[in-house]
Amino acid sequence: MLEVKHLEKSYQKDKPALTDISFSVEPGTFVAIIGPSGAGKTTILRSLNQLIKDDGGQILLDGGDLRTANKTQLRNYRRQIGMVFQNYNLVERLTVIENVLHGRLGYKSTLAGMFGRYTNEEKQEAMTLLQKVGLEDFALQRCSELSGGQKQRVGIARSLIQHPKVILCDEPIASLDPASSQTVMQLLKDLTTEFNIICIANLHQIGLAKDYADRIIGIRQGKMVFNEESDALSEKILETLYDQNVTEELN
Amino acid sequence: MQTPVNYLARKHWKQTGTIALIGSIYLLSSWILKFDGLTGIVAIPKAFSWLGINFKPTANSIHFLPTIWQKLIGTVLLAIASTVVASFIAIFVALIGAKATGGNALVQTVVRGIASFFRNIPLVAWAMILLFSFKQSDFTGFLALLLMSVGYLIRAFMEIIEDEASETMLALKATGASYFQVIFQAVLPQIMPSLISWILYMIENNVRDATLVGILTGTGIGFVFDIYYKSFRFDAAGMTVLSIIVVVIVLEVLSNQIRKVIL
Ligand SMILES: Nc1ncnc2c1ncn2[C@@H]1O[C@H](COP(=O)(O)OP(=O)(O)OP(=O)(O)O)[C@@H](O)[C@H]1O
Ligand SMILES: [Mg+2]
């Protein structure tokens, strides 16, 4: 279980980016975080694996606090938390399977990882996961030769091979066309159930958030204004969340 | 009030003003230097025809070729050696100095300062300074080229790391990868094409510069040219220049070909 308690962050003095964010998520839940640009969605997500050092609160993964972890402990936490990026953040020059195997680095000795020495089991698993995301035929292709949707699925496979308890997705479909967006969202939803993990995705597409997420968290100016089942998200709440009519987007 | 119309009008006036300013700076400086641009331009065809007649290699110049090519190959190897060593030094320093991979703001500033120092001392000055310690030798030329290349490459590599590796680094850091794993698995593979492209450019550049440095250090192809020139064997000097041009062009074609393959 992931519990976030009273998370605080300000990049500049007296200009809080996050104030008192608290929520908890059970395994097997797909959570969408929505809110206007600059609300603080990325800041929340990056605090969860401490790519951003926040200013206060607690982040508990199965009871252990990430925020007070030392370097080795943090590495152990990070390998249990996958991350999927808007721009995929793959090593474009390397092959698909090499990029997937990067997800194992957190488990390997520094030297074995530096020179990319993976075990046969790891390679087998990478292939199995590529099959799962529908890219088994692309294993030896360079990532630079893939389409956006395919790259994002490589990114998802990379996070899955970490055997994560949590997957964090920062606008995973913002650079994709509608069809690939549906594929990626469906994939994330299915994987959440199949592996019984927590998936948290920042989204700008409210329609997709309602369709795929179990729960929706609404953020506005660094504050949490909504945290309920997706069905409870009404137009009234959306209006206060975005300040103007976003209802068109829903249809 | 700023409207689009008067904004564009002002922009137009600014452009006209800038052109007028540049024109008057040119006129003022020619007047101070008593430099007559027009006479200079008129003299160009004459200068070239003189060059063409006197520097034209003849059948007689052929027997200089073995000496010329022997020295030329030595010079090319010197340029390659200095660039390769410079690249190794530069990549380490750049990793330490780049914001994404390196130390704090202080370290970055220090590295930038060092790179800028080595880069901004002209090559000829480096050669003259090094002549005191290492006398007229290949090593002096090697070191002069090395120091200047290091300055350029550190700066270039730091920018490449910032631009091309920051995002992938973040992704690997998030998986729990350690520092050296991130460098070897993400940063280096990601920047390799740009790195090689810069190294090739530096080799081309250093072959040209090595010729110049050779005149000062009394080594390589520069020295050969200097001897022929000063002993009025202009046809042989012409042959030397021709050989240099051929080598430089061949190198450029070759490195463009390599770039095409790796990019
Ligand atoms: N590195 C930074 N330095 C200073 N301020 C920052 C930095 N990163 C974010 N901010 C500020 O913090 C606030 C929250 O930013 P954040 O990136 O979390 O928003 P977001 O909800 O992800 O927006 P978007 O939907 O546009 O991605 C914004 O006001 C932003 O300007
Ligand atoms: Mg964001």
Which among B181, B188, B192 is the top mutation candidate for probing chain A, defined by the most A β-carbons within 10 Å of its own β-carbon? B181
Taking phi first (over 0 means left), then psi (-120 to 50 degrees means alpha), and beta for anything else, what does residue B219 get? beta
Q: How many domains does chain B have?
A: 2
Cα B42 to averaged position of ligand 1 atoms, centre (Å): 62
pLDDT in tens, chain B (263 residues): 667 788 888 888 999 999 999 999 988 988 888 887 788 888 888 888 888 888 888 888 888 888 899 999 999 999 999 999 999 999 999 999 998 898 788 999 999 999 999 999 998 899 999 998 898 888 999 999 999 999 999 999 999 999 999 999 999 999 999 999 999 999 999 999 999 999 999 999 999 999 889 998 888 899 999 999 999 888 889 899 999 999 999 999 999 999 898 87
A43 lines ligand 1 (CB under 6 A): yes
Query: Which residue ranges make up each domain of chain A?
Result: 2-80+164-250, 92-161
Residues of chain A with C-beta less than 8 angstroms from the C-beta of B193: 93
Same domain, B41 and B117: no
Q: Do A113 and B185 touch (CB under 8 A)?
A: yes
Amino acid, res. A116? G
Provide the token pair at A50.
């401490």
Q: By CB neighbour count within 10 A (0-12 exposed, 13-18 middle, 19+ buried), where does B203 fall?
A: buried
Same domain, B109 and B70: yes
Gap from B254 CA to chain A (nearest CA, Å): 22
**The whole model's pTM is what?**
0.84
Per-residue burial over B228-240, b = 16 or more CB atoms within 10 Å of its CB, e = otherwise: bbeeebbbbbbbb
Which among A111, A114, A145, A171 is the top mutation candidate for probing chain B, defined by the most B β-carbons within 10 Å of its own β-carbon? A114
Neighbours of ion ligand 2 (CB under 5 A): A 42
Q: Which pLDDT belongs to residue B1?
A: 60
Query: Which CATH number characterizes residue B240's domain?
Result: 1.10.3720.10
Same domain, B41 and B95: no
- DSSP assignments along chain A, one per residue: -EEEEEEEEEEETTEEEEEEEEEEE-TT-EEEEE--TTSSHHHHHHHHTTSS--SEEEEEETTEESTT--HHHHHHHHTTEEEE-TT----TTSBHHHHHHGGGGGGS-HHHHHTT---HHHHHHHHHHHHHTT-GGGTTSBGGGS-HHHHHHHHHHHHHTT--SEEEEESTTTTS-HHHHHHHHHHHHHHHHHTT-EEEEE-S-HHHHHHH-SEEEEEETTEEEEEEEGGG--HHHHHHHHSS--HHHH-
Gap from A95 CA to chain B (nearest CA, Å): 11
Same domain, B158 and B177: yes
Same domain, B171 and B241: yes
The residue whose CA is least distant from atom 7 of ligand 1 is: A11
CA distance B28 to B37: 12
Which among A92, A114, A159 has the least Cβ separation from residue B184? A114
Superfamily of domain A2-80+164-250: P-loop containing nucleotide triphosphate hydrolases (3.40.50.300)
Report in angstroms the alpha-carbon separations of B88 from A132, A145, A169.
Answer: 42, 30, 37
Q: Which pLDDT belongs to residue A251?
A: 42
Same domain, B70 and B102: yes
pLDDT in tens, chain A (251 residues): 999 999 999 999 888 999 999 999 999 999 999 999 999 999 999 999 999 999 999 999 999 999 999 999 999 999 999 999 999 999 999 999 999 999 999 999 999 999 999 999 999 999 999 999 999 999 999 999 999 999 999 999 999 999 999 999 999 999 889 999 999 999 999 999 999 999 999 999 999 999 999 999 999 999 999 999 999 888 888 888 887 544 444 44
Complex confidence, ipTM: 0.89
Same domain, B107 and B14: no
Instruction: Pick the residue from chain B with its C-alpha nearest to A161.
Output: B175
CA distance B90 to B86: 6
Same domain, B106 and B86: yes
Same domain, B130 and B81: yes
CA distance A202 to A214: 14
Q: Which pLDDT belongs to residue A112?
A: 95
Same domain, B19 and B66: no
Range of the domain at B87: 62-262
Helical pair B138-174 and B188-217, crossing angle rounded to 10 deg: 170
CA distance B36 to A60: 78
Contact A33, A45 (CB under 8 A): yes
Amino acid, res. A40? G
Which among A51, A93, A113 has the least Cβ separation from residue B173? A51
Same domain, B88 and B108: yes
B171 touches chain A (CB under 8 A): yes
Which among B167, B174, B178 has the least Cβ separation from residue A113? B178
Q: What is the CA radius of gyration of chain B?
A: 24
Q: Which pLDDT belongs to residue A234?
A: 86
CA distance B100 to B26: 44
Same domain, B16 and B131: no
